[in-house]
Amino acid sequence: AQTVTQSQPEMSVQEAETVTLSCTYDTSENNYYLFWYKQPPSRQMILVIRQEAYKQQNATENRFSVNFQKAAKSFSLKISDSQLGDTAMYFCAMGSGYALNFGKGTSLLVTP
């Protein structure tokens, strides 16, 4: 069975600062993918960043980057230069088959 754990239900960061959201997972698969999704109040799940487990290099998308520690089964998301529009729920997810397993999410609030 695959499990995804997000241990931070809520986080807050000031605008322009950096914040890191934590995620750990468990799987017996060797080939899998990891994702971070953003869900604003509109409810649409928006893909932020993805990481292939076989790649050692950490993925980066503009202000978003990950710290992927395969041995520790850890996949944290770093948001640099936080903006008010980053306020949302953030979900960590993993998939090794044909669909995703999601964590419970972290609610991020960016304050002025």
Partner 1 sequence: EAGVVQSPRYKIIEKKQPVAFWCNPISGHNTLYWYRQNLGQGPELLIRYENEEAVDDSQLPKDRFSAERLKGVDSTLKIQPAELGDSAVYLCASSFGITMAGTFGSGTRLTVV
- Which residues sit at the interface with partner 1, rule CB under 8 A? 4, 33, 35, 42-47, 50, 91, 93, 95, 97-100, 102-105
> Smallest gap, in angstroms, from Cβ of residue 3 to partner 1?
11
Neighbour-count burial for 96-112, b at 16+ CB within 10 Å, e otherwise: beeebbbbebbebebee
Rg (CA), the chain: 13
Closer to partner 1 by CB, 30 or 98: give it.
Answer: 98
> Smallest gap, in angstroms, from Cβ of residue 15 to partner 1?
26
Evaluate whether 43 touches 36 at the Cβ level (below 8 Å): no
Closer to partner 1 by CB, 21 or 100: give it.
Answer: 100
